[in-house]
């Protein structure tokens, strides 16, 4: 397999022979890579029908790799995911009992310890490969050819870190790496100084150290000494930028843009213009220098490989191809073998030349990612691996336009392929897969071959409940959110969102008290008055659901008694007892709430009170009171004071004969003296 970074695109290639893998539904992961948006709004009426919207955890992926019949991806949190066949523990979840038809997380190493964050993911034959953020290589899965690279032949069901390498005749601590890739039985790491390290099978010179021998150990699987069980440094005097490894040849791109090749050599697959004699091995790397037209090759920026042959991308974004062409996999419009690299001419629907940014190779199939994010494919199509909805081989690159539903494809940032399956990573970090799917390697929850791209592990929200009561009208929105209408309820309710990813149920999301129905009773106005012994109380109360009202009375403010039938907002009590207290009890599904205590006014008892304003001024001595015809003071008892104070003053005035004072007082009262008759 090969991993490249070109402009904004990355490409991956890996090709292997097909074997059957076991599969079953995998257990749900403990956590997803990305968080979810909590349901909103968080409150609504008790009658229900509030439209609530939220989202479920959606991993955002940054890297994708194709294994044998297993897929791998890296999310934005640095966590590796795997799916598909798991015969040898290549899924990396500590077991070989089941495969996974949807991605599961690789969370712990072989000792059960949490894994570090990873920066890249790759794969070899039935082996997963990861590069952590510190530059260390981890491997897991099949180890019969020493492909794990830990110095043993023991299959690893969970990742182990590679720490020991071989430099010349010495064992050394491995350096830090910037990339890791895998072929069929051999894997490769590129260190921070641009040097290549290789480990695994070497029967065809795949290690690239000039030999087909192993490290002296005998594989219990092959019974031969043709394996390097620790990474071996090769070509120490040369600096490289990337590597591509497939089922046959290996290709490496040096810092000058030249391609070097070695490994299994047959049918002109290495692009050197010559084939190899028995035993079909080229253990020493050689440089590709000449094109099919006999011209010097240009500098290249990326390289990939398929089952036989290879692909390269020059600085102008042109594709070059070489090797057998029996299924059209060279891509030049023929099925002939190309012994040296030939440049492909690719045009779009308008006849304009297409520039590419990344490449990948599958089993007799080529893939390319153009500069605007469209995927192109050519070659063998027996399993739908071209992804164009057919099973017809194609000898020239064709653009993929539609997904499995017939909808338009998104723009992609990376592509990868293994033997008969391909993957795309779109600009939003979502995974797509197509082609062979016998072991669930497409990752869409099924084992049916996919003739066009389908999303790997699509999300499905299966229910949203509010305190155990399902909402209605559950929908999945185009922006990746879900919406549901609330059922009736009251108070605070736990919201539980159940969902699946790739058909595999995930741990439900629970939001304690995530939605609030209605509101508790609240008094916005409480008033009272007493007039003529009649008590009147009035309240305004709000709440949802609508609160019920119950008036209560008490003589001591401690013991309260419901007033029968008094359940309206206004209370009227004739002849209210002196000092009797009243209050309102408002109740709804939330709670009961008591109002402030109201009391009837105290009883009425006349009592004199000194005047504190507008005192009566004494009359001037010369003032004369009006006289009646009979010589007595004119007055009308009914028109005199009506209060105790008024009566007292009037009597005092008449008794003293102070007629003028009485007249002044009466005028202050606004009364008119009656005529004497």
Q: What is the CA radius of gyration of the chain?
A: 46
The reported pLDDT for the residue numbered 58 is 83
The reported pLDDT for the residue numbered 622 is 37
Residues 645 and 588 in one domain: no
Residues 531 and 590 in one domain: yes
Residues 528 and 577 in one domain: yes
In a domain, 582, yes or no: yes
Last residue of a domain, one of 533, 564, 599: 599
Quote the tokens at residue 257. Answer: 């843009």
pLDDT profile of the chain (677 residues), mean per 10: 32 31 30 68 98 92 95 96 96 89 92 97 96 98 96 97 94 98 95 98 95 93 92 96 92 98 92 81 95 98 93 98 96 97 96 97 96 98 97 98 96 94 96 96 93 91 97 89 97 95 84 97 95 94 97 95 97 91 96 92 48 37 36 32 37 40 41 40
Domain that holds residue 669: 625-677
Alpha-carbon distance 328 to 344, whole Å?
A: 12
DSSP state letter for 597: -
| CB atoms inside a 10 Å sphere around CB 349 | 7
Q: Tell me how many domains the chain contains.
A: 2
Quote the tokens at residue 26. Answer: 């995998």
Alpha-carbon distance 139 to 158, whole Å?
A: 8
| CB atoms inside a 10 Å sphere around CB 597 | 14
Alpha-carbon distance 16 to 37, whole Å?
A: 41
What's the CA dihedral at 316, 319, 320, 326 to 10 degrees? -170
In a domain, 188, yes or no: no
The reported pLDDT for the residue numbered 248 is 82
Three-state DSSP state, 14:
coil
The reported pLDDT for the residue numbered 10 is 38
- Strands 365-370 and 469-470: what pairing? unpaired
Residue of 658, 671, 674, 672 lying closest to 623 (CA atoms): 658
Residue of 285, 293, 308, 297 lying closest to 257 (CA atoms): 297
Work out the end-to-end distance of the chain between its first and last CA atoms, rounded to an integer number of angstroms: 133
Q: Ramachandran region of residue 557, left (φ > 0), alpha (ψ -120 to 50) or beta?
A: left
The 3-state secondary structure of 273-315 reads CCCCCCCCEEEEEEECCECCCCCECCCEEEEEECCCCEEEEEC
Three-state DSSP state, 653:
helix
**Cis before 406 (ω within 30):** no
Residue of 59, 80, 100 lying closest to 140 (CA atoms): 80
Bridge partners, residue 12, by sequence: 3
Bridge partners, residue 250, by sequence: 245, 262
Residues 534 and 589 in one domain: yes
In a domain, 485, yes or no: no
Alpha-carbon distance 360 to 528, whole Å?
A: 85
In a domain, 554, yes or no: yes
In a domain, 558, yes or no: yes
The reported pLDDT for the residue numbered 653 is 36
In a domain, 374, yes or no: no
The 3-state secondary structure of 482-531 reads EEEECCCCCEEEEEEEEEEECCEECCCEEEEEEEEECEEEEEEEEEEEEE
In a domain, 645, yes or no: yes
In a domain, 579, yes or no: yes
Alpha-carbon distance 90 to 21, whole Å?
A: 11
The 3-state secondary structure of 332-368 reads CCCCCCEEEEEECCCECCCCCECCEEEEEECCCEEEE
Bridge partners, residue 233, by sequence: 197
Quote the tokens at residue 376. Answer: 């192109």
What's the CA dihedral at 439, 445, 450, 455 to 10 degrees? -130
Query: Half-sphere exposure of residue 369, counting CA atoms within 13 Å on the CB side?
Result: 34
Decide if 357 contacts 9 (C-beta within 8 A).
yes
The reported pLDDT for the residue numbered 222 is 83
> CATH code at 542?
2.60.40.10
Last residue of a domain, one of 531, 564, 599: 599
The reported pLDDT for the residue numbered 16 is 30
The reported pLDDT for the residue numbered 277 is 67
Decide if 298 contacts 319 (C-beta within 8 A).
no
The reported pLDDT for the residue numbered 650 is 38
Who's near 179: CB < 8 A, 6+ residues apart?
Answer: 3, 120, 122, 131, 189, 190, 242, 243
- Strands 519-531 and 561-562: what pairing? unpaired
Last residue of a domain, one of 582, 599, 616: 599
Alpha-carbon distance 342 to 327, whole Å?
A: 16
């Amino acid at each position: 397999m090969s991993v490249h970074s070109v402009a904004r695109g990355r490409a991956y290639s890996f090709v292997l022979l097909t074997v059957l893998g076991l599969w079953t539904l995998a257990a749900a992961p403990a956590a997803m890579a990305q968080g979810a948006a909590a349901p909103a709004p968080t409150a609504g009426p008790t009658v229900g029908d509030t439209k609530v919207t939220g989202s479920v955890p959606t991993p955002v992926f940054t890297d994708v790799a194709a294994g044998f019949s297993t897929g791998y991806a890296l999310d934005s949190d640095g966590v590796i995911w795997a799916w598909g066949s798991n015969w040898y523990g290549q899924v990396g979840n500590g077991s070989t009992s089941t495969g996974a038809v949807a991605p599961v997380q690789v969370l712990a190493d072989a000792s059960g310890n949490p894994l570090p964050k990873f920066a890249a993911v790759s794969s070899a034959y039935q082996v997963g490969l990861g590069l952590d953020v510190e530059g260390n290589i981890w491997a897991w899965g099949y180890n019969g050819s020493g492909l794990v690279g830990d110095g043993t032949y023991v299959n690893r069901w969970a990742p182990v870190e590679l720490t020991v390498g071989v430099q010349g005749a010495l064992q050394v601590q491995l350096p830090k790496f910037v990339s890791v890739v895998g072929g069929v039985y051999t894997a490769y790491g590129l260190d921070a100084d641009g040097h290549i390290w290789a480990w695994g099978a070497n029967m065809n010179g795949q290690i690239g150290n000039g030999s087909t021998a192993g490290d002296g150990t005998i594989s219990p699987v092959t019974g031969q000494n043709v394996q390097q069980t620790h990474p071996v440094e090769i070509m120490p005097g040369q600096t490289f930028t990337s590597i591509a490894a497939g089922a046959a040849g290996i290709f490496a791109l040096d810092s000058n843009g030249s391609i070097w090749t070695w490994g299994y050599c047959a049918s002109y697959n290495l692009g050197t213009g010559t084939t190899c004699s028995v035993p079909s091995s080229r253990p020493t790397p050689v440089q590709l220098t000449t094109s099919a037209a006999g011209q010097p090759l240009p500098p290249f920026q990326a390289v990939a490989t398929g089952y036989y042959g290879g692909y390269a991308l020059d600085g102008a974004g042109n594709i070059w191809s070489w090797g057998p062409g029996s299924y059209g996999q060279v891509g030049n419009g023929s099925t002939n073998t190309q012994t040296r690299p030939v440049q492909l001419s690719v045009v779009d629907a308008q006849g304009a030349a297409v520039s590419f940014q990344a490449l990948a190779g599958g089993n007799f199939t080529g893939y390319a990612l153009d500069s605007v994010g469209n995927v192109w494919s050519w070659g063998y199509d027996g399993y739908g691996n071209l992804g164009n909805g057919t099973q017809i081989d194609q000898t020239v690159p064709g653009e993929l336009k539609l997904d499995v539903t017939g909808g338009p494809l998104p723009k992609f940032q990376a592509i990868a392929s293994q033997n008969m399956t391909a993957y795309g990573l779109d600009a939003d970090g979502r995974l797509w897969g197509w082609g062979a799917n016998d072991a669930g390697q497409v990752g869409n929850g099924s084992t049916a071959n996919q003739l066009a791209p389908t999303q790997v592990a699509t999300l499905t929200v299966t229910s949203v409940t509010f305190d155990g009561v399902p909402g209605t009208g559950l929908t999945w929105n185009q922006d990746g959110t879900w919406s549901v209408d609330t059922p009736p309820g009251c108070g605070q309710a736990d919201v539980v969102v159940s969902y699946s990813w790739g058909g595999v149920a995930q741990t439900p999301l629970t939001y304690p008290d995530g939605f609030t129905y209605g509101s508790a009773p609240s008094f916005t106005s409480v008033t009272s008055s007493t007039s003529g012994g009649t008590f009147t109380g009035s309240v305004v109360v709000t709440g949802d659901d609508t609160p019920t009202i119950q008036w209560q009375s008490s003589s001591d403010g401690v013991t309260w008694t419901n007033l029968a039938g008094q359940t309206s907002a206004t209370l009227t009590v004739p002849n209210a007892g002196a000092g009797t207290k009243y209050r309102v009890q408002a109740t709804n599904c939330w709670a009961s709430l008591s109002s402030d205590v109201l009391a009837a006014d105290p009883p009425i008892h006349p009592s004199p009170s000194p005047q504190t304003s507008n005192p009566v001024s004494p009359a001037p001595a010369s003032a004369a009171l009006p006289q009646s015809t009979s010589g007595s003071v004119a007055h009308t008892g009914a028109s005199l004071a009506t209060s105790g104070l008024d009566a007292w003053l009037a009597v005092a005035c008449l008794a003293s004969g102070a007629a003028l004072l009485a007249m002044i007082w009466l005028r202050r009262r606004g009364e008119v003296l009656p005529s004497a008759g």
